[in-house]
Amino acid sequence: MSPTVQPPPADPRTRATSDGTAVTITGWRCTACHYPMTQQVTACMECRGEVEETTFATEGEVWASTCLRVRVPGHQPPFAVAYVVLDGGPRVLVHTGGDQPLAPGTRARVVAVSETGDLVAEPDGPVSAQEVAS
């Protein structure tokens, strides 16, 4: 093998920008069936209809969650993650602070993009004891 440096692969994650106070999540939505997509597409994944760039809600409901406590390249354990179904779709994978996963069924909001390029979410509204999964 030649010792050339490979360019990094295209980043497949959900696209988001932060101006320091608010996060904007961008993607594509089908103009025909309204299916929301976070991966770069030129046609709808569901119906192959036309798509247009759009922004998605930053709030939604936690669908499932866990905390990884093993070494994963590029991420420092422990780190908690969750699937959040954004209001109006899509479902995104987010990191959440600390090592206590957010409980499914509770509300969360994407508040930042981490140094590693991942969406970061927090519980939406005041946290009650029941909202932190045991």
Provide the binding-site residues for other proteins, judged by CB under 8 A: 9-14, 36, 38-39, 45-46, 63-75, 79, 81, 83, 85-86, 89-91, 93, 95, 101, 104-105, 116-118, 133
Kindly indicate which of the ranges 30-38, 72-80, 113-121, 125-133 contains the residues binding Zn ion, using the contact rule CB under 5 A: 30-38
Q: Which residues contact 22 (CB under 8 A, 6 or more apart)?
A: 58
- Report in angstroms how near the CB of residue 128 gets to other proteins at its nearest: 17
Bond preceding residue 78 cis, omega within 30 of 0? yes
Kindly indicate which of the ranges 23-31, 78-86, 91-99, 124-132 contains the residues binding Zn ion, using the contact rule CB under 5 A: 23-31
Q: How far is CA 54 from CA 2, 12, 26, 35, in A?
A: 42, 17, 6, 11
For the chain, helix, strand, coil in percent to 5 are 0, 45, 55
Q: What is the DSSP letter of 62?
A: E
Question: Based on CB atoms, which residue is closest to other proteins, 64 or 109?
Answer: 64
From candidates 37, 44, 86, 92, binder to Zn ion by CB under 5 A: 44
Residue ranges binding Zn ion (CB under 5 A): 30, 32-33, 35, 44, 46-47, 49
